[in-house]
Structure 1
Amino acid sequence: MSERELQRIEVLSRVSERRMTSATAAGLLGVSARQVQRLMKTFQSEGAPALCHKARGRPSNNRILDGVRDFALKLIREHYGDFGPTLAREKLLERHQLAVSKETLRKWMTEAGIWTLRRERKRRLHQPRGRRDCLGEMVQIDGSHHWWFEERGPKCALLVFIDDATGRLLHLRFAGSENTFDYFHAAKSYLQAWGKPLAFYSDKHGIFRTTHGSKLDRGSGLTQFGRALYELNIDIICANSPQAKEQASRCT
């Protein structure tokens, strides 16, 4: 029996022994006084077992038929193996007229090894990029918007050029924003002071990278800044993750 049913038997026993009134019992059980009287008749005529829930031991009316789970998992493996429970449920209902709740499907997919809970997924590890060997071989370029002059001036961007091999700050320039014009001036000043590197290493800012152009033609689809570097035979390498640009971000 459940705890609620045991409490009900105890209270009705006190009422039957005249140690408690029906009104008090109704308050303890959270029912009306008339309901207490009906329960007392059942308790006195059929005993304590009659107070148990009548549906105990019977299959649920909302149970899923045998074979539905296996059929749903089969469809998911064949067509929706890379889907999450929410989208897989929508496709099962839309294309196969199979209605299953999202949480039930999540449980099935987890037990079958198709879906892994977010907290159990392994974090993706990024292989650290090795630094270049020589000074000036590759230079990291980046910009940072900040109140560099506190309240004495407007918010601006600091353009920074960092040697990849040694981590030295080679050139700094304040600009109103990260724009092509100021990057041209900063790159010119750097080249005049330090010479030409083999490559500049940057993030995927629109100044350095464009999604247009042919993969077969290195010169097509370049930005203005990228076209200038192409004419100087300087490569522009765009980082694929924030971790790869950690050094430049830390310095700025």
Structure 2
Amino acid sequence: MAKTGTITMSMQEAERLKVIAAVVDGNLKPLQAAERLELTTRQVRRLVLRYGAEGAVGLVSRKRGRRSNHQLSNGVADAALTLIRQRYADFGPTLACEKLRECHGLYLGVETVRQLMMEAGLWIPRRLRDRSVYQPRNRRHCVGELIQIDGSDHRWFEDRAAACTLLVFIDDATSRLMHLHFTHTESTSATLKPRGGISNCTASRRRSTATSTACFVSPASRPRLA
């Protein structure tokens, strides 16, 4: 009596079993089976021989259940996680990987360290993090209470003069242009010059902010040392 049992197969392996069984029964030619399975006729013949010798079990991948050649041993993974918990719990995977390599001689890939930290709850992927909600700032209530200063470097006069910076003073409460003037470059002295006149016009001015720290300066426009 033939032995019976249960085997686990993927959908691809189940389809392969059906095609190879059709070849064995003579309902399908090896060339047709090769085209359907996207294999060569030699591979189909080998599968037919394996099916005849071992049955359906012979068509199941022999890699299933084996340990991967790239899988870490439990000792290495545990040692890495212990070090990360004790010393690098607040590090990102890349920096933690570098420290494990430099300080402890554990040569692991960044993705391996990332997976270990994710499984241990030490790292949350960016796509799973809560998005930060930034509350919009309310405008000031009085004219002149806050003056925002910004500069734009451009060839305002085309080829008739050198490039210069247009400084703009904007009232935060009304978005009104309080003052504009051209200057050689956006600097502290250039932004301080017109403030006296603005203060006389709007006595309630309490604060002014300049965005010069966020300005982009092209490297080509910077003076070069001889």
- Relative to the length of structure 1, the TM-score reads 0.63
- After alignment, is 117-126 or 127-136 more displaced? 127-136
Identity %: 44
After superposition, the Cα gap between the structure-2 partners of 1:65 and 1:180, relative to the gap in structure 1 and judged at 3 Å, is closer
Contact 1:141 1:201 in 2 (8 A): yes
Deviations 1:70-119 (A, max 9, x none): 32222112222232112212221222222333223212212322212112
Q: Which residue of 2 aligns with 1:18?
A: 26
After superposition, the Cα gap between the structure-2 partners of 1:18 and 1:82, relative to the gap in structure 1 and judged at 3 Å, is same
For residues 197 and 17 of structure 2, the distance between their equivalents in structure 1, rounded to whole angstroms, comes to: 91
- Relative to the length of structure 2, the TM-score reads 0.69
Q: 1:32 aligns with which of 40, 65, 86?
A: 40
Q: 1:73 aligns with which of 67, 76, 81?
A: 81
Q: 2:113 aligns with which of 87, 105, 117?
A: 105
For residues 202 and 71 of structure 2, the distance between their equivalents in structure 1, rounded to whole angstroms, comes to: 75
Q: 2:152 aligns with which of 120, 144, 147?
A: 144
For residues 164 and 140 of structure 1, the distance between their equivalents in structure 2, rounded to whole angstroms, comes to: 7
- Counterparts in 2 of 1:224-243, with a 5 A limit? none
After superposition, the Cα gap between the structure-2 partners of 1:34 and 1:205, relative to the gap in structure 1 and judged at 3 Å, is closer
Q: Which residue of 2 aligns with 1:41?
A: 49
After superposition, the Cα gap between the structure-2 partners of 1:43 and 1:123, relative to the gap in structure 1 and judged at 3 Å, is closer
After superposition, the Cα gap between the structure-2 partners of 1:200 and 1:12, relative to the gap in structure 1 and judged at 3 Å, is closer
- Counterparts in 2 of 1:95-244, with a 5 A limit? 95-126=103-134, 135-145=143-153, 157-164=165-172, 167-175=175-183, 177-179=185-187, 182-183=190-191, 185-187=193-195, 189-190=197-198, 193=201, 198-205=206-213
Unaligned runs of 5+ in 1: 208-252
For residues 107 and 139 of structure 1, the distance between their equivalents in structure 2, rounded to whole angstroms, comes to: 49
Q: Which residue of 1 aligns with 2:224?
A: none
Q: What RMSD, in angstroms, separates the aligned Cα atoms of the two structures?
A: 3.7
Contact 1:159 1:186 in 2 (8 A): no
After superposition, the Cα gap between the structure-2 partners of 1:145 and 1:17, relative to the gap in structure 1 and judged at 3 Å, is same
Unaligned runs of 5+ in 2: 1-8, 216-226
- Aligned pair count reads 207
For residues 190 and 74 of structure 1, the distance between their equivalents in structure 2, rounded to whole angstroms, comes to: 62
Give 2:150's aligned amino acid.
D
